[in-house]
Amino acid sequence: MANVILDKSKRGWWKSAVFYELYPKSFQDTTGSGVGDLRGILSRLDYLETLGIDAIWLCPICASPQVDNGYDISDFCAIDPMFGTMADMEELIAESGKRGIGILIDLTLNHTSNQHVWFREALKSRDNPYHDYYVWRDGTPDVPPNDMRATFGGSAWTYVPELGQWYFHQFAVEQPDLNWENPMLRRELYDVIRFWVSKGVAGFRLDVIDQIAKDPDRKITANGPRLHEYFRELSREALLEEGLVTVGEAWGADTQRARLYSAPDGSELSMVFQFEHIGLDQQPGKDKWDLAPLSLPKLKDCFRRWQQELYGTGWNSLFFNNHDLPRIVSRWGEDGKYRVESAKMLATMLHGMQGTPYIYQGEELGMTNIRLPLEQYQDLEIHNLFRERSAQGYDPQDVMESIWARGRDNARTPMQWTSGPNAGFTTGTPWLPVNENYRQINAEAALADPNSIFYYYQKLIALRKRVPEFRDGSFTLLCPEDEQVFAYTRDTDGGHMLVVCNFSGTEAAFEIPEAFRNAEVLITNYESEAEILRPYEAKILHYKKI
Ligand code: GLC
């Protein structure tokens, strides 16, 4: 089936699209450095074209000391030499464009690296014009302005003795928060956006964007009072070209807020990443390291709400994975005997919904989590967690269990291309170990197997463009209390679609509604038919109104 190429200059093209999140550091190395690079991505564009995706969300490639893998940017308009040059980037945008693939740049507009020239200037004196680009409070070295904690551990305030002031950082010490109240700063950031628009990008993924309007005196991080005002200004000032897509990372979004962020008039953003579903398997009120079993009825209710409450009034992004999250097949599927079936089932459940689906690199291969000894992990969050929890008296074994289940490096292991050395990722030493299972799980094997997870995703992507119910259908949840089956319908005036997924590793009963008895099977992960749903069985049925 030929790929349908969407016209990216048209408003709303992304509503029929499927996006692919690419983590450059782990995608393809061409220099033997052990770190992926832009030329590596160029060399794999045919693979992405075969998959059929419409756009790539490229994790940060801007100049950075890499304290937080590029989410600490020191120059928004330069390419980190580790990844290549601006000429490579221009070639990547052009070559992707030829294949109908748009590029989204990942920008951290909430903070910079402490090596950014603005911060280095800000440190020079209180009256330096750049000083007010950051968030400062006067004080003495022993008492921080308040007890706010940084996401990666420790206080959210760091003291600068030369200035007699504390600066605010929601993440690492090396990631000082920007002060969006300063109009000069905002103008500089809009210039950054315009710079990348002039390079021909299709849009932006905006890192922790709901935290820009912070008010640390009132301990407000997400959803500050001026947030919508900033979004509207950004959209008005910098996103002038029709068709640009923006996806904002918004951990604090509920459906009401998301409706504003993604309002159909385009006054704010195109869509946000919200994380409500992602938090359902942790202990209430605790953080992601405190594991709890997933309740399927709760997961279903969560998706139902997002699907129904944004219908016609906003737009969902659909994802299970990203570079901060564990691999979904290991998390809510089964990464042993039923790895293939469960990976396909999870894809069916998600891609059947309304919104823009995001595939995270390797998800289309069913890549799994990894278990490494502590010293082999690279992520600062993992090491900070281990230090903090050990000091608090946690059993180190329990802390490792949490890291194996939730650590961000699970998603960041190198892409598995072949069964050859280092999975074909590098000829050098990979910056993070390759998962041992690469001999079985790799792109080469997937491309040679017509029943692979890869081709299942390819089919789902093509269906989204062919069958209008994927994009437009209203959502109705069936059997909300069922502990095994996730089933729903998508209905338009012209047709009806039924998605049925057995979310468990045992057989499950589900009665196909009368109206769908003779419907076309658009996709399924079992070849033969059966009365009962087999482990992780999934299917999508469809009929048109006559
Ligand atoms: C976002 C990114 C994450 C990063 C953090 C700080 O959550 O996805 O990887 O560490 O922001 O920039």
Quote the ligand 1 centre to 115 CA distance (angstroms).
17
Enclosing domain of residue 131? 117-168
Residue found under tokens 């950082």: 169
Residue 229 lies in a domain: yes
Kindly state whether residues 330 and 448 are assigned to the same domain. Answer: yes
According to the model, what pLDDT value does residue 546 have?
76
Where helices occur in 1-44 by DSSP H, the ranges are 38-43
CB of residue 275 inside a 6 A radius of ligand 1: no
| Averaged pLDDT for residues 516-528 | 97
pLDDT at 331: 98
Q: Which atom of ligand 1 is nearest to the CA of 110?
A: 12
Nearest atom in ligand 1 to the alpha carbon of residue 68 is: 10
Closest by Cα among 541, 491, 484, 109 to 311: 491
In a domain, 6, yes or no: no
Q: Which of residues 409, 432, 458 is at a domain's end?
A: 458
Task: Supply the residues annotated as catalytic.
Answer: 207, 249
Per-residue pLDDT, 230:
98
409 in ligand 1 pocket by Cβ < 6 Å? Answer: no
Q: What is the pLDDT of residues 50-82, one digit of tens each?
A: 999 999 999 999 999 999 999 999 999 999 999
Going from the C-alpha of 243 to that of each of 263, 368, 530, the distances in angstroms are 15, 35, 45
Residue 345 Cβ < 6 Å to ligand 1? no
CB 419 within 8 A of CB 383: no
Q: pLDDT value at position 1?
A: 57
315 and 440 belong to one structural domain: yes
Assign residue 150 the CATH number of its domain. 3.90.400.10
Give yes or no: residues 101 and 139 share one domain: no
Mean pLDDT of 453-462: 98
Check whether residue 160 and residue 245 sit in a common domain. no
Query: Are residues 128 and 222 located together in one domain of the fold?
Result: no
Q: What is the mean pLDDT of residues 223-246?
A: 95
Q: Is residue 296 part of a domain?
A: yes
Residues 437-446 pLDDT 10s: 999 999 999 9
Question: Measured between alpha carbons, how far is 333 from 157 in angstroms, rounded to an integer?
Answer: 40
Cα of 250 vs centre of ligand 1, distance in Å, is 11
106 lines ligand 1 (CB under 6 A): no
Q: What is the pLDDT of residues 95-133, one digit of tens each?
A: 999 999 999 999 999 999 999 999 999 999 999 999 999
Residue 348 alpha carbon to ligand 1 centre in Å: 28
Q: In the 8-state DSSP scheme, what is residue 436? A: G
Ligand 1 atom nearest the C-alpha of 108 is 12
The response to whether residue 174 sits with its C-beta less than 6 Å from ligand 1 reads no
Strand 19-22 versus strand 356-360 pairing type? parallel
CA of 207 to the centre of ligand 1 (A): 6
173 found inside a domain: no
Residue nearest to atom 4 of ligand 1 (CA): 71
Is residue 379 in contact with ligand 1, taking CB distance under 6 Å? no
Ligand 1 midpoint to CA 89 (Å):
22
Together in a domain, 104 and 121: no
Ligand 1 atom with the smallest distance to the CA of 251 is 7
Q: Whose CA is nearest to atom 12 of ligand 1?
A: 71
Tokens 């903070």 belong to residue: 111
What is the distance in A from the centroid of ligand 1 to the CA of 328?
19
Give a yes or no: residue 1 inside a domain: no
Look at residue 67 and give its three-state secondary structure: coil
Q: What is the mean pLDDT of residues 218-223?
A: 96
**Most ligand 1 atoms within 8 A of CB, residue of 114, 247, 324, 406 to mutate:** 324
Ligand 1: which of 171, 317, 322, 382 to mutate, most ligand atoms within 8 Å of CB? 171
Is residue 416 within 8 Å of residue 423, measured between CB atoms? yes
The residue whose C-alpha atom lies closest to atom 7 belonging to ligand 1 is 208
215 and 313 fall within a common domain: yes
Q: Identify whether residues 273 and 151 lie together within a single domain.
A: no
7 in any annotated domain: no
CATH code for the domain of 496: 2.60.40.1180
Amino acid (1-letter code) at residue 545: K
Q: Are 253 and 274 in contact (CB under 8 A)?
A: yes
User: What local confidence, expressed as pLDDT, does residue 129 receive?
Assistant: 97
Which domain-ending residue is among 402, 436, 458?
458
Three-state secondary structure string covering 438-491: HHCCCHHHHHCCCCCHHHHHHHHHHHHHHCHHHHHCEEEEECCCCCCEEEEEEE
- Shared domain for 280 and 429, answered yes or no, is yes
**If you average pLDDT over residues 504-513, what whole number do you get?**
98
CATH code (residue 352) = 3.20.20.80
Q: How many domains does the chain have?
A: 3
Does the beta carbon of 71 sit less than 6 angstroms from any atom of ligand 1?
yes
Atom of ligand 1 nearest to the CA of 71: 12
Separation of 321 CA from ligand 1 center, angstroms?
14
CB count, 10 Å around CB of 279?
13
Residue 465 lies in a domain: no
Are 204 and 331 in a shared domain? yes
- pLDDT for the residue 540: 98
The pLDDT of residue 235 is 96
Q: Are 486 and 446 in a shared domain?
A: no
Q: Count of H helices and E strands in the chain?
A: 16, 18
Q: Vertex 179, ends 141 and 212: CA angle to 5°?
A: 115
DSSP line for 305-329: HHHHHTTTT--BEE-S--TTS--HH
Ligand 1 in reach of 170 Cβ (< 6 A): no
Indicate whether 300 and 415 sit together in one domain. Answer: yes
Closest CA to 58 of 413, 242, 48, 67: 48
Q: Answer yes or no: is 491 within a domain.
A: yes
Structural element, H or E, at residue 6: none
How many whole angstroms from 445 Cα to the centroid of ligand 1?
32
Distance CA(273)–CA(452), nearest Å, equals 28
Q: Quote the pTM value.
A: 0.98
Given 410, 434, 458, the domain boundary residue is: 458
* The pLDDT of residue 3: 85
* Amino acid, single-letter form, for residue 320: F
Best residue for ligand 1 mutational test, from 112, 207, 409 (most atoms within 8 Å of Cβ): 207
Q: Whose CA is nearest to atom 2 of ligand 1?
A: 207
How remote is the CA of residue 340 from the centroid of ligand 1, in Å? 30
Q: Rounded to the nearest 10 degrees, how much is the dihedral formed by the CA atoms of 432, 437, 441, 442?
A: 40
